[in-house]
Structure 1
Amino acid sequence: MKKIALSLFLILFVVFQTLAQGLRVGSYNVRYANTNDVGNLWPDRAPVVANLIRFHDFDIFGTQEALKNQLDDISNALPVYARYGLGRDDGKEKGEHSAIFYKKDKFKLLNKGDFWLSQTPDKPSLGWDATCCNRIASWVYLQDIKNKKKFYVFNVHYDHQGKEARRESSKLILQKIAEIAGKEPVILTGDFNGDHSSEWYQTIANSGVLKDTYKQVQYPYASNASFNAFGSKLDGEQIIDHIFVTNHFKVNKWGILTDTYHGKFPSDHFPILVELTYGGKK
């Protein structure tokens, strides 16, 4: 009986440890390398961005706005991560990306893909009333090497001008998640250019498919807005960068990381960090 009891204890312990293993997930608009950002140029910000990511030890993080050279700089500084994401302008390397980084020693890449936020999502294209830019969403299908759990990560950057484009983007995101991931676990990160009151945010948050991690913790660490304009807009409270998950995950922490350096800001957005645990409500 003692051997049986010990065996049961060990089984339960292993199961508990597997479920309790957490994920540190981030969403970070790193601001594209704009040569007009005098005082906040990318060559000066790049090592700070890398240091921030290294210190906060993200397991997975979605980036927005980064050009290929910026992604290369992050990859070169942080070789523990692999990444995926195509350029929004040509479906290759041109233009901003919605790239996803993940730790190579923790996750195995099973599949990957991209789609554009438009009426023709399978090719580079401008959507609805957007007037400036193509918008792209990238996704990866990962397996946790240790416990073999599989899940999808989607990352996106909504248009900043077209309201119809933002509304329709949320509908498309939900449609694509259903098509690609089905009922499997999903994490969605991104800059949605809309706070909790925006229609496009509410479409996702009230979908019954995804839940906002911010609203799943008792004490979200939200002492600032998520957009800071390199420090010129610090008095607001709007959160426009979000991380959503399906019920397969339990949310333990949520916070806006307000790291600075010599009074400057690594980006015009603060990154969002959430701590998740496998094994939420199914």
Structure 2
Amino acid sequence: MFPHICGVSSQETLLGPACADGDPVKIVSYNLRFASEADPQPWSRRRPASVELLSGLAPDILGTEEGVDHQLADLMDGLGDHYRLVAEHRHDGGIEENSAIIYNSRAVELIKIEHQWLSTTPDVPGSISWGATLPRMYSLASFRRVADDAEFFVITTHFDHESIEVQVNSAHQVIDRIAGLDPDVPLIVMGDFNCGEDSEPYAIMTAGQLRDAYLTAAERGPRLGTFNNYAAPDPDGVRIDWILVSDRVTVSSARMVDEAPGGQYPSDHLPVEAVIDF
């Protein structure tokens, strides 16, 4: 298991100063599809394309879903020594997928990290509620931008894939946690939400201070469904992977990354990217 870099209680309010102008920050959210040699698209086949794609994107902060330990280690080897990883197993009793954040230490510095489970007992690792069949979680990190010491929050999460009730309760839980954060500090929320723009969880997540980075970006790439199942994405498909930002954040560009290095899509999801500033 990858260790916490540092921890805070679920009841502790993470605080920081309002941000000043500085270098743009590139955010990427990516469901990696867990590594399995039994999969029709095994990790051994996808690994080179995954490393090439992410190295080319060169994110400052990368939130990942489903990555297992050796999969994340492969990405870290490919990204370079200036990248750092903080991750936590979701304690699913199986292959132990991680909720992970990889960050460029030349651009940002990690201050604190918190891992919580999407359940009525969020401090209990592996806990499930509302009829969910698998544990789900979110990670909340506080970062400082190296260029100007501006602080900001990042949440990465992976919602349930079967139950709208679980998704709705998960959305409320994340929003309730956000209510405990300093509203003057910029916030980015990203992940695989397993539901689209017309869903109740999306409405809950965007009812307050959060905005969809793709819809509010100054420049946008083509609209694409983000679950592409290792094939060319469908323009009419559902965007189930999102990056959301608070009103303290400006978005210069956003896109779904439709790239298949060497003809190989690295995952059954597309990465989503946003270039932001505060």
TM-score > 0.5 by shorter chain: yes
Give the Cα separation in 2 of the matches to 1:250 and 1:233: 27
Q: Deviations over 1:100-137 (max 9, x none)?
A: 11101222211111000111111121121212x11011
* Equivalent residue number for residue 69 of structure 1: 70
* Equivalent residue number for residue 10 of structure 2: none
* Equivalent residue number for residue 53 of structure 1: 54
* Equivalent residue number for residue 136 of structure 2: 135
Residues 233 and 258 of structure 2 are in contact (CA less than 8 Å); yes or no, is this contact kept in structure 1?
no
* Equivalent residue number for residue 44 of structure 1: 45
Higher gyration radius (CA): 1
Give the Cα separation in 2 of the matches to 1:27 and 1:112: 17
Corresponding residue to 2:88 among 86, 89, 95: 86
Residues 85 and 139 of structure 1 are in contact (CA less than 8 Å); yes or no, is this contact kept in structure 2?
no
- Counterpart of 1:193 in structure 2: which amino acid? N
Residues 26 and 271 of structure 1 are in contact (CA less than 8 Å); yes or no, is this contact kept in structure 2?
yes
Query: In the TM superposition, what is the alpha-carbon distance from 1:171 to its structure 2 partner?
Result: 0.4
Question: Percent of counterpart pairs with the same letter?
Answer: 30
- Counterpart of 1:44 in structure 2: which amino acid? R
Single out whichever of 43-52 and 134-143 deviates more from structure 2.
43-52
Give the Cα separation in 2 of the matches to 1:225 and 1:256: 8
Structure 2 segments unaligned to the other structure (5+ residues): 1-19
Structure 1 segments unaligned to the other structure (5+ residues): 1-17
Superposition pairs for residues 1-282 of structure 1, below 5 Å? 19=21, 21-38=23-40, 40-78=41-79, 79-89=81-91, 95-124=96-125, 125-131=127-133, 133-206=134-207, 208-217=208-217, 219-231=219-231, 234=234, 236-278=236-278
Residues 223 and 235 of structure 2 are in contact (CA less than 8 Å); yes or no, is this contact kept in structure 1?
no
Give the Cα separation in 2 of the matches to 1:71 and 1:139: 19
Which structure is richer in relative contact order (CA contacts within 8 A, separation 6 or more)?
A: 2
Query: In the TM superposition, what is the alpha-carbon distance from 1:180 to its structure 2 partner?
Result: 4.5
Q: Deviations over 1:232-270 (max 9, x none)?
A: 864642100000111111111110111113433110000
- The 4+ residue runs of structure 1 with deviation greater than 6 A are none
Give the Cα separation in 2 of the matches to 1:164 and 1:62: 24
- Cα gap change, 1:22/1:109 in structure 2, threshold over 3 Å: closer, same or farther? same
Single out whichever of 175-184 and 208-217 deviates more from structure 2.
175-184
Give the Cα separation in 2 of the matches to 1:175 and 1:266: 34
Give the Cα separation in 2 of the matches to 1:230 and 1:161: 21
Aligned-partner SS, 2:179? helix
Residues 158 and 191 of structure 1 are in contact (CA less than 8 Å); yes or no, is this contact kept in structure 2?
yes
Give the Cα separation in 2 of the matches to 1:56 and 1:83: 17
Residues 25 and 61 of structure 1 are in contact (CA less than 8 Å); yes or no, is this contact kept in structure 2?
yes
Residues 22 and 148 of structure 2 are in contact (CA less than 8 Å); yes or no, is this contact kept in structure 1?
no
Q: TM-score if structure 2 supplies the norm length?
A: 0.87
Residues 52 and 261 of structure 2 are in contact (CA less than 8 Å); yes or no, is this contact kept in structure 1?
no
Residues 114 and 139 of structure 1 are in contact (CA less than 8 Å); yes or no, is this contact kept in structure 2?
yes
Give the Cα separation in 2 of the matches to 1:106 and 1:263: 31
Query: In the TM superposition, what is the alpha-carbon distance from 1:217 to its structure 2 partner?
Result: 2.3
Larger helix proportion of the pair: 1
Aligned residues, how many? 257
* Equivalent residue number for residue 8 of structure 1: none
Give the Cα separation in 2 of the matches to 1:181 and 1:173: 15
Q: TM-score if structure 1 supplies the norm length?
A: 0.85
